[in-house]
Amino acid sequence: DEFFWSKKTQPKMIRRKIISMSTADEQNVFLFPDEIPINIANPSDLEKLKELFPDRSVYITVGSDVIEKASAYLASPEEHSIHGFPHIVFSRNEFPEIPAVELPAAEVSPGREEVSRRISGEVRYFTLPQDLQEISSTLIRENIDSNRDISNLIDPLVQSYIYDNSLYLREPLFKYVFSENRIHFEIVEEFTEQLVQEVTETIFRQHENKERIRTYLMKQGTKAVIIREGNRNNPPVSIAAFHEIGMADLYDEFGSLEIASCVRGITSGKVVVLSGIASVKEAPIKNAEQLTITEALAHCLKNDFTYAMFHNQLGETDAKLIDLLERQGFVPVCQAGPADLYGVDMKFPVTLFSDIETSVKEPFNQRRKVLAVIDEAHRKMQRTMAKLYPGNLILAVDSGVMNHRIVDMIAKESRRPYEPLSPGALGEYMCVPFGKILRGMTIPNIVTKSLQTEKRFESEINLFQITEYPYYSPLVNQIRTIKSFRRPVLLVDDLLHKGYRMKKLDPLLKEEEIDVRKLIVGILSGRGKDLMAVQGRQVDSVYFIPNLRSWFVESSLYPFLGGDGIHRKDISNAGFIPSVNLVLPYVAPRFMTDLPRKALYDFSMTCLENARDILAVLEEEYQMIFEKNLTLNRLSEAISSPRYPDKGLSVSYDLNYPPSLYVANDIEHLKRLENLIL
């Protein structure tokens, strides 16, 4: 049921369909209504269950191991609690020679005393025959992964449904549980002698002019972002140093009248100068310099800086550093000045979420070639975005790091440690992600249950609405399920700007009287903060961006790797969902019509080429590991939520072909439109 929140399950409507198929030939067996959630740990729900069957006895059928371990039975008895219900208990792995009949009291195992101690209602014991005892979900999953016949374990009709829809492929039994973040971010407001010494002996250990670096870092007003591996006691891995500069101090900063005059002509207001970005050689943290500059720029945005300049005072400006700056949107300024003087407008930044790595399943998300192609695709996307919005800040956010930062905030809010405790030591709060973030994941010691939502477009892509994710219960039913947990809620999302999801969910949450204590998001804009003030909700964020221009999620841009939903009455394959990627040639995105056509064409081409390259490497690695081809019907073995670009009614894909082939076809299609577009 929906209250085993740590299990990684198929969507509820798929599971209901499997049960319906399995019981279709049984008389007087019915599925309980989806709109009435019953949590066996909630006495109010159990009281409602009794009321639904007046003048009848309601028995709970359960395995003996559940009574020994489930939190509902471990809790203290109270009125209408599970302890007072009559039970039918199936003993596991006991008396295999006895058929499925009721056990005499004398033959019941010693565990009966424990059951009797916890259950005050009538208890009747049964056992299953040997052939049924051997059936387990783990065995079924292993056979599905190996494409074996499972008709002796489940109904043959269900077997066909599972294989035809590519369900349960390489799916773990439990959700991924977060471990402690291995990256520590530190904002330095003022340097001490000890910290300067630590930085110069690690990050700048091989630098020739350490005295110049020490002098700058000890200078009043110098600030920095430092990241360390693990915790604050470990050596620093990367640094981004910066300081504020006023319009009256430009000559003192650059020593040139021409540059001072040039900068005054470009911007006004609060200006920050990035004076150096560096990391240790062979840093143990991947993309350390990218993470550091993102953190530094986000800190400056939060403090109302509107323009950033790069004026290196901590080493040489090499090609690698210039590429890093240009990928964030920096452009050369003041031609009369030094070659390493760059600037970027921060008034209306654009965010780019890098989430492909979190969308790829194990073991592929740990393969060197897969990680390399994902990183290169992200860099290509950054460069394309910089051309799409020239001179405008492109804030690149790593979704994996963002997940950990949000989990840190949740753990702090709920005052729970990272180390998993006993089941009875769960915190007071319930974490409820309602976007893409933390999907299929759980936080140690905190009940984690997602609200499965989706932005779903009409077929003409002119309107959309927020609905339940395909094959999940309607949103109101999901919210009723969350209410049955009887816990105050922490809502979680990756971004809050226009607040489409919250506008849809807010009246439903209030109607069901859900106790929402706080909303925690990755990126919060000024508009999003105002919206929460209107709704009367508390909100906290990892990053605050006052004026967000646009946001992009990489997986939503790449065909077969992600996308937004599209309204179709019938979906032919439950494991392969139609979607729309807001790039050419699938659709001309309306929110980008004011941009140059060449930039829009290059942006779309980059998305398609990145998708093709990532899928091609996944296909290659899949072939090496499993010695067979990765085709569309097995794409769910490599991707958490595979989608396919919707081409209209009665247009289908051959599921025996690799996905990269179809992306290559779309690249060719876009090239045919090049003359018209440009």
Share of the chain above pLDDT 70, in %: 96
Number of C-alpha atoms within 13 angstroms, CB side, residue 360?
A: 24
**What's the one-letter identity of residue 440?**
G
- Collapsing DSSP to helix, strand or coil, 81 comes out as coil
Q: How far is it, in rounded angstroms, from Cα 421 to Cα 444?
A: 8
Higher model confidence: residue 69 or residue 429? 429
- Collapsing DSSP to helix, strand or coil, 73 comes out as helix
Q: Which helix (H) or strand (E) holds 250?
A: helix 250-254
Whether 509 has a pLDDT exceeding 70, the answer reads yes
Structure tokens at 452: 């499965």
> What is the reported pLDDT for 657?
95
Give pLDDT tens digits for 447-458: 999 999 999 999
**What's the one-letter identity of residue 258?**
E
Name the maximum alpha-carbon separation found in the chain: 100
Of the listed ranges 415-424, 436-445, 469-478, 611-620, the least confidently predicted one is 415-424
Whether 100 has a pLDDT exceeding 70, the answer reads no
| 33, 53 contact by CB (below 8 A) | no
Nearest to 543 by CA among 649, 402, 375, 344: 402
Whether 111 has a pLDDT exceeding 70, the answer reads no
Q: Is the dihedral of CA 422, 424, 430, 435 positive or negative?
A: positive
Whether 75 has a pLDDT exceeding 90, the answer reads no
Give pLDDT tens digits for 247-289: 888 888 887 888 888 888 888 778 999 999 999 988 889 999 9
- Mean pLDDT, residues 673-678: 86
Q: Which stretches of 31-91 are assigned E, i.e. beta strand? A: 60-63, 87-91
> What is the reported pLDDT for 539?
96
> What is the reported pLDDT for 436?
86
Ordered DSSP codes for 523-574: EEEHHHHHHHHHHT--EEEEEEESS--EEEEHHHHSTTT--EEE--S--S-T
> What is the reported pLDDT for 360?
94
Of the listed ranges 185-199, 406-420, 515-529, 574-588, the least confidently predicted one is 406-420
Q: How far is it, in rounded angstroms, from Cα 333 to Cα 342?
A: 5
Number of C-alpha atoms within 13 angstroms, CB side, residue 558?
A: 29
Q: How far is it, in rounded angstroms, from Cα 363 to Cα 555?
A: 19
Residues 6+ apart with CB under 8 A from 530: none
Do the strands 307-310 and 430-433 form a parallel or antiparallel pair, or are they unpaired? unpaired
Nearest to 228 by CA among 287, 290, 285: 285
- Mean pLDDT, residues 205-216: 86
Q: Which stretches of 401-536 are assigned E, i.e. beta strand? A: 430-433, 441-442, 447-448, 453-457, 464-468, 489-496, 516-525
Nearest to 525 by CA among 500, 555, 495: 495
Give pLDDT tens digits for 127-157: 888 778 778 888 898 999 888 999 889 999 9
- Mean pLDDT, residues 418-426: 67
Whether 174 has a pLDDT exceeding 60, the answer reads yes
Whether 644 has a pLDDT exceeding 90, the answer reads yes
> What is the reported pLDDT for 338?
59
pLDDT tier for residue 336 given thresholds of 50, 70 and 90: low
Do the strands 577-580 and 564-566 form a parallel or antiparallel pair, or are they unpaired? antiparallel
- How many other CB atoms are found less than 10 A from the CB of residue 375? 16
> What is the reported pLDDT for 109?
55
pTM for the full predicted model: 0.91
Number of C-alpha atoms within 13 angstroms, CB side, residue 201?
A: 7
- Collapsing DSSP to helix, strand or coil, 446 comes out as coil
- How many other CB atoms are found less than 10 A from the CB of residue 454? 20
Give pLDDT tens digits for 522-537: 999 999 999 999 999 9
> What is the reported pLDDT for 101?
56
Do the strands 489-496 and 430-433 form a parallel or antiparallel pair, or are they unpaired? parallel
Q: Which residues of 582-608 are buried (b: 16+ CB within 10 A; e: fewer)?
A: bbbbbbebeebeeeeeebbbbbbbbbb
Number of C-alpha atoms within 13 angstroms, CB side, residue 179?
A: 3
Q: How far is it, in rounded angstroms, from Cα 575 to Cα 571?
A: 9
pLDDT tier for residue 98 given thresholds of 50, 70 and 90: very low
> What is the reported pLDDT for 95?
44
Cα torsion through 341, 346, 348, 350, rounded to 10: 80
- Mean pLDDT, residues 636-665: 92
- Looking at every residue in the chain, the average pLDDT score rounds to 89
- Mean pLDDT, residues 50-70: 90
Polymer length of the chain: 678
